Amino acid sequence: MAANYKAELVGCFGQPVAENPTGVMQEAGFRAAGLNWRYLTVEVGPQDLAAAVQGVRAFGMRGINLTIPHKVAVIQHLDGLSDEARIIGAVNTVVREGDKLIGNNTDGKGFLRGIETDGGMDVGGKRVVVLGAGGAARAVATELILAGASDLLVVNRSLDRAGAMVADLIQNTSGPVRFEPWVGSFAVPDDVDLLVNATSIGLYPDVDAAPDVNFSGAKSDMLVADAVFNPPETKFLAAAGEYGLPTLDGLSMLVYQGVIAFQMWTGQDPDEAVMKKALAEALGVE
Protein backbone atom coordinates (compact mmCIF):
# COMPACT_ATOMS: atom_id res chain seq x y z
CA MET A 1 0.00 0.00 0.00
CA ALA A 2 1.28 3.49 -0.84
CA ALA A 3 2.35 5.54 2.16
CA ASN A 4 0.06 8.37 3.22
CA TYR A 5 1.63 10.95 5.49
CA LYS A 6 -1.09 13.57 4.95
CA ALA A 7 -3.04 14.39 8.11
CA GLU A 8 -6.67 15.49 7.99
CA LEU A 9 -7.11 18.87 9.64
CA VAL A 10 -9.78 20.37 11.91
CA GLY A 11 -9.43 23.00 14.59
CA CYS A 12 -10.80 26.03 16.37
CA PHE A 13 -10.75 29.77 15.59
CA GLY A 14 -11.25 32.19 18.47
CA GLN A 15 -9.85 35.14 20.37
CA PRO A 16 -8.84 34.54 23.08
CA VAL A 17 -8.42 30.84 22.37
CA ALA A 18 -5.28 29.65 24.15
CA GLU A 19 -7.17 28.30 27.18
CA ASN A 20 -9.72 26.37 25.09
CA PRO A 21 -9.19 22.66 25.94
CA THR A 22 -11.21 21.17 23.06
CA GLY A 23 -8.11 20.23 21.06
CA VAL A 24 -6.79 18.00 23.83
CA MET A 25 -10.09 16.13 23.92
CA GLN A 26 -10.41 15.78 20.11
CA GLU A 27 -6.80 14.65 19.60
CA ALA A 28 -7.22 12.00 22.30
CA GLY A 29 -10.30 10.80 20.41
CA PHE A 30 -8.44 10.74 17.08
CA ARG A 31 -5.54 8.75 18.60
CA ALA A 32 -7.90 6.24 20.18
CA ALA A 33 -9.65 5.78 16.83
CA GLY A 34 -6.32 5.37 14.99
CA LEU A 35 -7.04 8.44 12.85
CA ASN A 36 -4.22 10.60 11.47
CA TRP A 37 -6.15 13.80 12.22
CA ARG A 38 -4.92 17.02 13.85
CA TYR A 39 -6.87 19.67 15.79
CA LEU A 40 -5.30 23.13 15.47
CA THR A 41 -6.16 25.74 18.10
CA VAL A 42 -5.68 29.02 16.23
CA GLU A 43 -5.93 32.61 17.47
CA VAL A 44 -7.93 34.55 14.85
CA GLY A 45 -9.09 38.13 15.36
CA PRO A 46 -12.34 39.47 13.86
CA GLN A 47 -10.49 41.29 11.05
CA ASP A 48 -8.94 38.00 9.89
CA LEU A 49 -11.98 35.71 10.04
CA ALA A 50 -12.76 35.89 6.29
CA ALA A 51 -9.15 35.02 5.41
CA ALA A 52 -9.10 32.25 8.03
CA VAL A 53 -12.24 30.62 6.55
CA GLN A 54 -10.62 30.93 3.13
CA GLY A 55 -7.68 29.11 4.72
CA VAL A 56 -10.02 26.27 5.73
CA ARG A 57 -10.95 25.96 2.06
CA ALA A 58 -7.36 26.31 0.79
CA PHE A 59 -6.00 23.70 3.22
CA GLY A 60 -8.84 21.30 2.48
CA MET A 61 -9.63 21.19 6.20
CA ARG A 62 -12.46 18.82 7.20
CA GLY A 63 -14.03 21.39 9.48
CA ILE A 64 -13.53 23.98 12.17
CA ASN A 65 -14.96 25.00 15.54
CA LEU A 66 -15.77 28.64 16.20
CA THR A 67 -15.70 30.26 19.59
CA ILE A 68 -15.89 33.82 20.89
CA PRO A 69 -16.19 36.18 18.95
CA HIS A 70 -16.88 34.30 15.69
CA LYS A 71 -20.02 32.19 16.21
CA VAL A 72 -22.35 34.65 14.46
CA ALA A 73 -19.86 36.47 12.21
CA VAL A 74 -18.75 33.24 10.51
CA ILE A 75 -22.20 32.65 8.97
CA GLN A 76 -21.64 35.14 6.12
CA HIS A 77 -18.54 33.18 5.02
CA LEU A 78 -20.24 29.75 4.80
CA ASP A 79 -22.15 27.97 2.02
CA GLY A 80 -25.09 26.78 4.11
CA LEU A 81 -26.50 26.14 7.59
CA SER A 82 -28.16 23.23 9.37
CA ASP A 83 -31.75 23.89 10.51
CA GLU A 84 -30.63 24.18 14.15
CA ALA A 85 -27.84 26.63 13.37
CA ARG A 86 -30.32 28.76 11.42
CA ILE A 87 -32.79 28.80 14.33
CA ILE A 88 -30.08 29.43 16.93
CA GLY A 89 -28.44 32.07 14.72
CA ALA A 90 -24.93 30.90 15.61
CA VAL A 91 -22.43 28.30 14.41
CA ASN A 92 -19.89 26.49 16.59
CA THR A 93 -18.98 23.67 14.17
CA VAL A 94 -18.35 23.88 10.43
CA VAL A 95 -18.31 20.65 8.44
CA ARG A 96 -16.92 20.28 4.91
CA GLU A 97 -19.45 18.56 2.65
CA GLY A 98 -17.75 18.11 -0.74
CA ASP A 99 -16.49 21.60 -1.55
CA LYS A 100 -19.11 23.30 0.64
CA LEU A 101 -18.64 24.54 4.20
CA ILE A 102 -21.82 23.96 6.22
CA GLY A 103 -22.45 25.58 9.61
CA ASN A 104 -23.84 23.51 12.47
CA ASN A 105 -24.36 24.06 16.17
CA THR A 106 -23.45 21.22 18.54
CA ASP A 107 -23.68 23.23 21.79
CA GLY A 108 -27.37 22.60 22.35
CA LYS A 109 -27.19 19.02 21.06
CA GLY A 110 -24.25 18.40 23.41
CA PHE A 111 -26.21 19.85 26.31
CA LEU A 112 -29.22 17.66 25.51
CA ARG A 113 -27.05 14.54 25.23
CA GLY A 114 -25.58 15.35 28.65
CA ILE A 115 -29.03 15.78 30.21
CA GLU A 116 -30.12 12.42 28.80
CA THR A 117 -26.91 10.44 29.34
CA ASP A 118 -25.38 11.93 32.50
CA GLY A 119 -28.51 13.52 34.00
CA GLY A 120 -30.79 10.55 33.26
CA MET A 121 -33.63 12.81 32.08
CA ASP A 122 -35.81 12.60 28.98
CA VAL A 123 -36.83 16.22 28.39
CA GLY A 124 -39.99 15.29 26.48
CA GLY A 125 -42.95 16.83 28.37
CA LYS A 126 -40.69 18.49 30.95
CA ARG A 127 -40.99 22.04 32.29
CA VAL A 128 -37.73 23.95 31.93
CA VAL A 129 -36.26 27.28 33.04
CA VAL A 130 -33.28 28.69 31.12
CA LEU A 131 -31.32 31.51 32.77
CA GLY A 132 -29.72 33.71 30.09
CA ALA A 133 -30.37 34.79 26.51
CA GLY A 134 -26.92 34.70 24.90
CA GLY A 135 -25.50 32.20 22.43
CA ALA A 136 -25.42 29.26 24.85
CA ALA A 137 -28.98 29.95 26.03
CA ARG A 138 -30.24 30.10 22.43
CA ALA A 139 -28.58 26.78 21.60
CA VAL A 140 -29.82 25.04 24.75
CA ALA A 141 -33.36 26.43 24.47
CA THR A 142 -33.68 25.50 20.78
CA GLU A 143 -32.72 21.86 21.38
CA LEU A 144 -34.95 21.60 24.48
CA ILE A 145 -37.94 22.79 22.46
CA LEU A 146 -37.11 20.51 19.52
CA ALA A 147 -36.82 17.61 22.01
CA GLY A 148 -40.36 18.24 23.25
CA ALA A 149 -40.12 20.29 26.46
CA SER A 150 -43.68 21.22 27.40
CA ASP A 151 -42.86 24.65 28.83
CA LEU A 152 -39.72 26.77 28.51
CA LEU A 153 -39.34 29.90 30.60
CA VAL A 154 -36.47 32.23 29.67
CA VAL A 155 -35.25 34.40 32.54
CA ASN A 156 -32.79 37.15 31.62
CA ARG A 157 -31.52 40.48 32.86
CA SER A 158 -31.71 42.48 29.64
CA LEU A 159 -35.14 42.68 28.04
CA ASP A 160 -34.06 43.34 24.47
CA ARG A 161 -31.80 40.29 24.17
CA ALA A 162 -34.38 38.00 25.78
CA GLY A 163 -37.20 39.47 23.70
CA ALA A 164 -35.31 38.78 20.47
CA MET A 165 -34.47 35.23 21.57
CA VAL A 166 -38.03 34.38 22.56
CA ALA A 167 -39.46 35.90 19.36
CA ASP A 168 -37.00 33.89 17.23
CA LEU A 169 -37.77 30.66 19.11
CA ILE A 170 -41.53 31.08 18.77
CA GLN A 171 -41.27 32.01 15.09
CA ASN A 172 -38.94 29.10 14.23
CA THR A 173 -40.28 26.32 16.45
CA SER A 174 -43.83 27.40 17.45
CA GLY A 175 -42.72 26.06 20.84
CA PRO A 176 -44.14 26.83 24.31
CA VAL A 177 -41.67 29.61 25.13
CA ARG A 178 -42.23 32.33 27.73
CA PHE A 179 -40.11 35.15 29.13
CA GLU A 180 -39.76 36.65 32.59
CA PRO A 181 -37.42 39.54 33.40
CA TRP A 182 -34.82 38.77 36.06
CA VAL A 183 -35.57 41.15 38.90
CA GLY A 184 -33.90 40.48 42.24
CA SER A 185 -33.83 36.83 43.23
CA PHE A 186 -35.52 34.37 40.82
CA ALA A 187 -37.77 32.12 42.91
CA VAL A 188 -37.92 28.68 41.24
CA PRO A 189 -41.57 27.57 40.83
CA ASP A 190 -42.46 24.17 42.31
CA ASP A 191 -43.39 22.60 38.95
CA VAL A 192 -39.99 23.02 37.23
CA ASP A 193 -38.20 19.79 36.18
CA LEU A 194 -34.96 21.29 34.84
CA LEU A 195 -33.19 24.57 35.66
CA VAL A 196 -30.26 25.61 33.44
CA ASN A 197 -27.71 28.35 34.03
CA ALA A 198 -26.81 29.45 30.51
CA THR A 199 -25.43 32.81 31.66
CA SER A 200 -21.72 33.44 32.06
CA ILE A 201 -22.15 34.15 35.79
CA GLY A 202 -19.58 32.10 37.72
CA LEU A 203 -17.20 31.77 34.80
CA TYR A 204 -13.48 32.08 35.60
CA PRO A 205 -12.13 34.43 36.91
CA ASP A 206 -15.43 35.50 38.52
CA VAL A 207 -15.72 32.17 40.33
CA ASP A 208 -17.36 33.52 43.50
CA ALA A 209 -20.36 34.84 41.57
CA ALA A 210 -23.58 32.83 41.24
CA PRO A 211 -26.92 33.53 39.54
CA ASP A 212 -29.36 35.02 42.06
CA VAL A 213 -31.77 32.10 42.43
CA ASN A 214 -33.92 31.01 45.37
CA PHE A 215 -34.17 27.20 45.34
CA SER A 216 -36.40 26.90 48.42
CA GLY A 217 -39.61 26.30 46.42
CA ALA A 218 -38.10 23.80 43.94
CA LYS A 219 -39.32 20.22 43.88
CA SER A 220 -36.84 17.75 45.34
CA ASP A 221 -35.87 16.03 42.06
CA MET A 222 -35.45 19.17 39.92
CA LEU A 223 -32.24 18.75 37.88
CA VAL A 224 -29.93 21.78 38.00
CA ALA A 225 -27.47 22.12 35.10
CA ASP A 226 -24.71 24.67 34.52
CA ALA A 227 -23.25 25.60 31.12
CA VAL A 228 -20.24 27.14 32.85
CA PHE A 229 -17.42 24.56 32.72
CA ASN A 230 -14.52 26.60 34.05
CA PRO A 231 -14.60 25.86 36.92
CA PRO A 232 -16.87 22.79 36.77
CA GLU A 233 -17.73 23.11 40.47
CA THR A 234 -19.61 26.42 40.35
CA LYS A 235 -21.15 28.30 43.26
CA PHE A 236 -24.50 27.82 41.51
CA LEU A 237 -24.26 24.02 41.57
CA ALA A 238 -22.97 24.10 45.15
CA ALA A 239 -26.02 26.15 46.18
CA ALA A 240 -28.35 23.66 44.45
CA GLY A 241 -26.50 20.82 46.17
CA GLU A 242 -27.20 22.39 49.55
CA TYR A 243 -30.90 21.91 48.81
CA GLY A 244 -30.23 18.26 47.96
CA LEU A 245 -31.01 18.82 44.26
CA PRO A 246 -29.35 16.68 41.56
CA THR A 247 -26.79 18.63 39.51
CA LEU A 248 -24.96 18.40 36.18
CA ASP A 249 -21.81 20.42 35.45
CA GLY A 250 -20.75 22.17 32.23
CA LEU A 251 -18.14 19.53 31.40
CA SER A 252 -20.94 17.24 30.32
CA MET A 253 -22.11 19.74 27.65
CA LEU A 254 -18.52 20.42 26.61
CA VAL A 255 -17.65 16.75 26.15
CA TYR A 256 -20.78 15.91 24.18
CA GLN A 257 -20.62 18.96 21.88
CA GLY A 258 -17.13 17.67 21.03
CA VAL A 259 -18.30 14.07 20.63
CA ILE A 260 -21.00 15.23 18.19
CA ALA A 261 -18.50 17.39 16.25
CA PHE A 262 -16.16 14.34 16.04
CA GLN A 263 -19.02 12.27 14.62
CA MET A 264 -19.92 14.98 12.09
CA TRP A 265 -16.33 15.38 10.91
CA THR A 266 -15.13 11.76 10.80
CA GLY A 267 -18.39 9.82 10.36
CA GLN A 268 -17.22 7.60 13.24
CA ASP A 269 -18.28 7.22 16.88
CA PRO A 270 -15.42 8.26 19.16
CA ASP A 271 -14.40 6.61 22.43
CA GLU A 272 -16.35 9.01 24.65
CA ALA A 273 -14.61 7.86 27.83
CA VAL A 274 -11.20 8.68 26.34
CA MET A 275 -12.36 12.17 25.32
CA LYS A 276 -13.93 12.79 28.75
CA LYS A 277 -10.78 11.67 30.56
CA ALA A 278 -8.52 13.86 28.39
CA LEU A 279 -10.72 16.88 29.02
CA ALA A 280 -10.89 16.29 32.77
CA GLU A 281 -7.10 15.91 32.92
CA ALA A 282 -6.59 19.10 30.89
CA LEU A 283 -8.84 21.01 33.28
CA GLY A 284 -7.29 19.39 36.34
CA VAL A 285 -10.48 17.77 37.63
CA GLU A 286 -11.08 14.20 38.80
Residue 126 half-sphere exposure, CB side, CA atoms within 13 Å? 25
Strands 213-214 and 247-248: unpaired
Position among 250, 260, 261, 279 found at the interface with ligand NDP (CB under 6 A): 250
Q: Give the nearest distance from C-beta 92 to ligand NDP in angstroms.
A: 7
Position among 10, 17, 74, 137 found at the interface with ligand NDP (CB under 6 A): 137
Active-site residue numbers?
71
229 interacts with ligand NDP by CB under 6 A: yes
DSSP code, position 216: T
Stretch in the footprint of ligand NDP (CB under 6 A) among 5-13, 116-124, 248-256, 272-280 = 248-256
The DSSP line for 38-100 is: EEEEEE--GGGHHHHHHHHHHTT-SEEEE-TT-TTGGGGGSSEE-HHHHHHT--SEEEEETTE
- CA separation for the pair 84, 238 (Å, rounded): 32
158 interacts with ligand NDP by CB under 6 A: yes
- CA separation for the pair 216, 246 (Å, rounded): 14
200 interacts with ligand NDP by CB under 6 A: yes
Residue nearest ligand NDP (C-beta atom): 134
Position among 10, 196, 253, 279 found at the interface with ligand NDP (CB under 6 A): 253
Q: Where on the chain is the footprint of ligand NDP (CB under 6 A)?
A: 107, 110, 132-137, 156-158, 161, 198-201, 203, 227-229, 250, 253-254, 257
